Amino acid sequence: MGGSLKKGTGGTRTRESAKMIDMLPEEVVLEILTWVPAVDLARSCRLVCSSWCRIIDSQDLWHRKCEMEVPWSGRLGRHRPPDWQRFHRLRPIGRNMMRNPCARRSFRDWTITMDGGDGWKVEHVEVPLPEPHQLIQQCFVSSYQECTKKQIIDLLAEGLWEVFLDNQPDIVVSEWYAARWDCGCLYKLCCRLLAADQKTVIVEKTVQPEAIPQWNDGSWRKAVLVLEHYGPGARYLEFEHSGKDTQFWAGWYGSRMTLASVMVVPPGASHEVIEDHASA
């Protein structure tokens, strides 16, 4: 008898709570739901009732969540994303879009186009990178003849949108490279912005630093390219790097490379701030 009474009381309280929620103005419900984690909105809150589902699916809620939780959202100005929920999930501004930039998954996501000498190899980092990247443990290593590989980024699939891209935001492309202490090396970084057909090159930039000499300290150096004022139509970005040693030694004495990065700069932000946020 006591158990039946308790069950009935609980059911009454639940119904009363639901009625109280239904009485709240929609603007108040919207404000409350904005503070709920995205995963809970999708898995639980959308199932409560049709009005909650409609609010959670609205652009207004996700616009608010982006301004609260996604860096740089407030700097987009009139070039706002067409889908704030997708923007919240993918967060394409100020994020490294390269996949497997530090060789954690061997050569996954990379296309090897030249495998000269003894070919590419993944090795452990011997000399730590500068802070805040000193915990990176692996790098790609080239051989005694030219080794080249590339990665193509679908900018729309990464969360960007046509209007924003056609407004030509600056894109910072970078990578850390080094030589073995006992062997010199050559390194080159090339970046191309491609049209929707993945064949038409809108702009191409290359950086090829001077060769690192033999008997060096093995320290890491940073190669940086900035893509700007490149015109409308960019939909893909091709990242390509290459290297080899200068002594023609068998094995893997060529340039070391790690932490490849492609980041879209938010309007009004400095390139240096964006580069400092590059991560694996």
Q: Mean pLDDT lowest for which of 44-53, 82-91, 96-105, 108-117?
A: 44-53
The predicted pLDDT at position 267 comes to: 80
Q: What is the pLDDT of residues 191-218, one digit of tens each?
A: 999 999 999 999 999 999 999 999 999 9
Two structure tokens written together for 74: 């407030």
Give the DSSP per-residue string, 125-194: -SSPPSTT-TT--EEEE--SS-EEEEEEEETTTTT--HHHHHT---EEEEEEEE--TTS-EEEEEEEEEE
DSSP H helix total and E strand total for the chain: 8, 10
Confidence of residue 164 (pLDDT cuts 50, 70, 90): very high
Query: Which letter does DSSP use for residue 213 in this model?
Result: P
The predicted pLDDT at position 275 comes to: 62
Average of per-residue pLDDT values in the chain: 91
The predicted pLDDT at position 209 comes to: 96
Two structure tokens written together for 199: 């064949």
Confidence of residue 280 (pLDDT cuts 50, 70, 90): low
Residues 6+ apart with CB under 8 A from 260: 98, 101, 151, 174, 175, 239, 241
Cβ atoms of 42 and 34 within 8 Å: the answer is no
Model pTM? 0.88
Confidence of residue 23 (pLDDT cuts 50, 70, 90): confident
What is the number of other CB atoms lying within 10 angstroms of the CB of residue 166? 14
Confidence of residue 13 (pLDDT cuts 50, 70, 90): low
- Taken in order of first residue, the domains within the chain and their CATH numbers are 2-90 (1.20.1280.50), 111-276 (2.60.120.260)
Q: Which residue has the higher pLDDT, 225 or 21?
A: 225
- CA dist 36 and 65 (Å) reads 9
The predicted pLDDT at position 77 comes to: 81
> How far is residue 141 from each of residues 35, 106, 121, 187, measured CA to CA in Å?
46, 11, 5, 11
With a pLDDT cut of 90, the percent of the chain lying above it is 80
Q: Which residue has the higher pLDDT, 278 or 105?
A: 105
Q: What is the pLDDT of residues 126-163, one digit of tens each?
A: 999 999 999 999 999 999 999 999 999 999 999 999 99
